[in-house]
Amino acid sequence: VSSFTELREGLSAVAVRATVKALVGTHIVRGVTVGLRLLPAPILASVSIPTVTTIRVVPKVSSRIALARGGAPYDIGLRSVGTSGVGTSFYGTREYRLGDELRYVDWKASSRLRRLVVKLFEREVYRCVALVVALNYGFFRGSRPPLPRLFEGVVSLATDLLRYGAEVLVAVVSPGKVAGLTYVKLRRAEDLANLAEALSRVEWPLEVAEESLTYRTALWLSLKLATELLPGRCTVIYLGEPESDVDLVASRLVANSLRSLGYRPIFALTSAEVVKLLYGEAEEGDLVVIARKFSRVYREVEPSELFTIVEDLGSLARFLHL
């Protein structure tokens, strides 16, 4: 860094130039050279002083700051350059500083710790569980319809969830020309009486058809329930049977929507034949139907989707790890 000064008096002038040789980025001055020249006479005097001096300031030329080029590895006290470029890869608004790598490593370690804290927080929040029961015509068919058995399992599952400390929302969608929706919130064991009363008010269809849109309707209604009735993050369990490939596609779409909202969807494949089998009332034809239906479902469902066969409604509470 050089500084030039000239003193002029008439035709004579004295020029003084001082040069400082320093290693920018190390704060070490290697030498100082002072030159004296008398004009117009050819007289030149120069003095060089070798030194090893540590400084904590940056020499200034006029009003500009001497900037380090090439990404100096040490903090030389420069002000922020305000633009991204060489030496600003970490923060973008200032030059590289000593210890930035350590800060980056510390940030990565602390981020892992934060993720663990988030997991623990989600486990507390996931104590809210919504049961969406989609009833098709199979639950109303036969001399001994399996609907009462299904409701017994729903009440048993809600009891186990309340015992684990979860808040439970039970929504039942029944078939018909206009799908009916019945839902009740449970916070304490005393609310089980309200659940039993709500299940007893489920209307039976006037006629029993072969297929219904109940499962698909329950999927889309669950999105409305999730956004309006469920607090924060929650586990949503679907008890029902997809009756077509369209229902499977709708399941994937609804699952993606719920995950984007922070919910945890679980599809528990429950059919009338499965309920009969659980309670020892299945016939030979029911076993054939079970094998045919679930082989189709497993063939269409991707491995990433969370579908599970209900072997016992009471085991679902343990499956949730509440």
- Which pLDDT value is given to residue 188? 86
Fold of 1-66: N-terminal domain of TfIIb (2.20.25)
Q: State the virtual CA torsion across 169, 155, 322, 294 in degrees, nearest 10.
A: -90
pLDDT band at 132 (very low <50, low <70, confident <90, very high): very high
Write out the two tokens for 255. Answer: 């699952």
pLDDT of residue 267: 86
Average pLDDT, stretch 178-182? 70
How far apart, in Å, are the Cα atoms of 201 and each of 47, 180, 209, 286? 106, 11, 21, 28
Side-chain-facing half-sphere of 189: CA atoms under 13 Å: 6
Strands 167-174, 128-134: pairing is parallel
The answer, yes or no, to whether residue 126 has pLDDT greater than 80, is: no
Percent of the chain with pLDDT over 90: 2
The predicted model scores a pTM of: 0.57
The CATH number corresponding to 122-319 among 3.40.50.410, 3.80.30.20, 3.30.1360.70, 3.40.190.10 equals: 3.40.50.410
Q: Where are the domains positioned within the chain? A: 1-66, 122-319
Task: Give the per-residue pLDDT at 229.
Answer: 77
Question: What does the pLDDT average to over 17-40?
Answer: 63
Q: Letter for the amino acid at 52? A: V
Residue 134 has pLDDT above 70, yes or no: yes
What CA–CA distance (Å, rounded) separates 204 from 176? 9
pLDDT at 307 over 80: no
Cα 8 to the center of its chain, rounded Å: 73
- What's the pLDDT band for 96 if we cut at 50, 70, 90? low
Mean residue pLDDT across the chain: 70
CA distance between the termini of the chain: 70
- Of 30-39, 56-65, 67-76, the range with the highest mean pLDDT is 30-39
Structure tokens at 190: 């005393």
